[in-house]
A and B are shown apart, each in its own frame.
Chain A
Amino acid sequence: MSLAQNSDEAVTIAPRSRGRRRWRLSPQAVSWLQVSPLAIILTAFFALPTLVFLIVSFYDYDRAGIYPDFLLTNYEELLTTPATLRVYVSSLKFAFIVWGITLFLGFNIAYFLVFHVHSRTMRTILFLACAIPFWTSGIIRTIAWIPFLGRNGAFNQGLMAVHLTEQPLEFLLFSPFAVCVTYVHLFTLLMIGPIANSLAKIDPALLEAARDAGASRWRTMVDIVIPLSKTGIALGSILVFTQVMGDFFVVKAMSGGQSASIVSQLATEIQAMQYPPAAASAIILVLFVALMVGCMMRVVDVRKELVR
């Protein structure tokens, strides 16, 4: 793109013709004006609120309210409770399993869409078929599994109808299994999208060259396709990982009380109006997620890839 060229050109804001005063702003100033609404909204409603719960995490509290203070007890209590570790381990376990499954599905489906489907129309239709559920309600998609997986659900009835099992399977619903299935259902698109985007940028001539040079399909995959799609893989991984770590609805609705998530525990504290410990818990979660995302971002320069 002609970045350098463009930054030299001055941009006029007001129309020239009407004989009004002509304003000439430097390109830099024009950019600032253009991004300022975004910057203001994100600062006011994302950065500042984050700062607010950072501050409140040091506050004192009782049943009546919260009091400005600088206490570390909220953190102390949080970090010394075994429940904290338990819930982090449980969430990480879900995140890891779901990450593995969505990566496998997402990569293979994206590969199929980009390299195997030659017709543009067909590719668009298939991609939309994957994407459309993402634009519908996550709550509805979650509870849709209940009549499907339940004891008398469609899946069990199907299994028994073809005599694969005599008894309905009990572990399907309200179990860690159901939680994983729902996560995969909800989040696989977050993997397909970025990976397909990376794959689409690979020049097909490169693959042909590899084949002509005698590389097997496997070698081409390992040495060319996977390295060139690592941005998409990293981006998808970040999205899936953060969604699972930040979830509180799916675990609540689908685990049948067998598992808790970090955020559902936090929500309980919020409902009990225990804001300072909830804020401390929120800060720990944010730090943890930021650390993991930071590690994944080290693999690729996401910004360079997206903005060009």
Chain B
Amino acid sequence: MGGASRDPREKRPWTFYALAMLMGTFLVFLYGPMVVIYVLSFQGPDGGVTFPMVGTSTFWFAEILKPGQMANIPVSFGRSMLLACIVSVITVLVAVSAGLGFRRRFAGSGLLFYLAVASLVMPSLLVGFGIGLGFKLFGWQTDLFTSALAAQLTWTLPFGLFAMFAVFNRFNRTYEEAATDLGATAWQRLRWVTLPILMPGILGVAMGAFTLSYDEYARTTLVAGNRNTLPLEIYALISSSSSPTLFAIGTLTTAVSFLVIGMTLALILSLQHRRAARGRPA
């Protein structure tokens, strides 16, 4: 472990080794099954959904793109990406703004806080059910970019808000005070001081909202209208198909998630790196 060499005076207690073992086992438990499906998605054309591998191929990936029963997968992938981008942008704007607002106590702040908590812990399917019923009573047609978008926001917004609380907890107010003392207007202070300092956290919120939306199933299923998102398509496939294609889709969609996570982390790291190089506040 990285820390061992730093502290040569002190011997590690036995609990360190026990907990390190637990951590290692947990990581195997976390990644093991996922690795199994990544491997199985490269199953040969004659292979099945379990080991042994009958050769290796990209046959099952090619199946996804073939016209036919899988035809909906690429289209729904596009929809999911678009929806996730919209959700991510709205979540960032609303959550950052609300995070700023929550820095002062205001009348009703407690109520709004508990509304957000309730929205987060509400059984997911019920959110979609409520919105779906509401649309029905008004005679509106449910759709991906109205009702499903709204249902996903009830999940990503509280998440974004709580993430912003964590970000603001670490925020040092003296930078803002200095900006005010130097004559900055509220807007200039926000644009040139507060937001740049918060940027890594904001990027984190954007990524979190994107991935939550991209993988969301339970809130969306009752209100997506007649255009399915990727998770809804995958769900429909689970019952109808038992070929490694399902694993190939799983591998691809996880790869997309990893790509988004990796790009965001790289962006955050490079921001922090640049900042450290310039000696600016982190």
A307 with B93: CB separation less than 8 A: no
Partner of A42, one of B107, B115, B173, B215: B115
Given the known interface contacts A133-B31, A248-B218, A253-B238, the answer about A217 and B231 at a Cβ–Cβ threshold of 8 Å is: no
Partner of A122, one of B1, B26, B185, B212: B1
Contact with A along B197-224 (1 / 0, CB 8 A): 0000000000110011011011000100
Instruction: Decide if B166 is an interface residue (CB 8 Å cutoff).
Output: yes
Given the known interface contacts A38-B98, A306-B165, the answer about A246 and B130 at a Cβ–Cβ threshold of 8 Å is: no
How distant is B282 from chain A, measured CB to nearest CB, in Å? 12
B186 with A12: CB separation less than 8 A: yes
Interface centre among B93, B100, B125, B168 (most CB of A within 10 A): B125
B98 with A37: CB separation less than 8 A: yes
Instruction: Decide if A130 is an interface residue (CB 8 Å cutoff).
Output: yes
B101 with A30: CB separation less than 8 A: yes
How distant is A160 from chain B, measured CB to nearest CB, in Å? 12
Instruction: Decide if A202 is an interface residue (CB 8 Å cutoff).
Output: no
Contact with A along B118-138 (1 / 0, CB 8 A): 110111111101110110010
Instruction: Decide if A258 is an interface residue (CB 8 Å cutoff).
Output: no
Instruction: Decide if A87 is an interface residue (CB 8 Å cutoff).
Output: no
Contact with B along A37-65 (1 / 0, CB 8 A): 11101111111111011001000000000
Stretch from A74-82, A92-100, A148-156, A224-232 forming part of the interface with B? A148-156
Q: Please indicate the chain B residues that have their CB under 8 angstroms from the CB of A300 in the complex.
A: none
A303 with B231: CB separation less than 8 A: no
Given the known interface contacts A139-B235, A188-B26, A289-B121, the answer about A116 and B254 at a Cβ–Cβ threshold of 8 Å is: no
Q: CA A42 – CA B151 in complex, angstroms?
A: 10
Q: Please indicate the chain B residues that have their CB under 8 angstroms from the CB of A285 in the complex.
A: 123, 126
How distant is B105 from chain A, measured CB to nearest CB, in Å? 7
22 A-B residue pairs with CB within 8 Å: A3-B104, A12-B185, A15-B188, A34-B97, A38-B157, A45-B127, A53-B133, A105-B22, A116-B12, A117-B2, A137-B253, A140-B234, A141-B33, A141-B34, A144-B36, A146-B49, A147-B50, A150-B50, A238-B121, A246-B122, A290-B118, A306-B162
A binding-site residues for B, Cβ under 8 Å? 1-3, 6-7, 9, 11-17, 27-28, 30-35, 37-39, 41-50, 52-53, 56, 105, 108-109, 111-113, 116-119, 121-122, 126, 128-130, 132-133, 135-141, 143-150, 152-154, 157, 185, 188, 197, 217, 238-239, 242, 245-246, 248-249, 253, 262-263, 266-267, 270, 275, 278-279, 282, 285-286, 289-290, 293, 302-303, 306-308
Closest 8 CB pairs of A and B: A49-B130, A246-B123, A118-B3, A34-B101, A119-B2, A122-B2, A35-B101, A112-B19
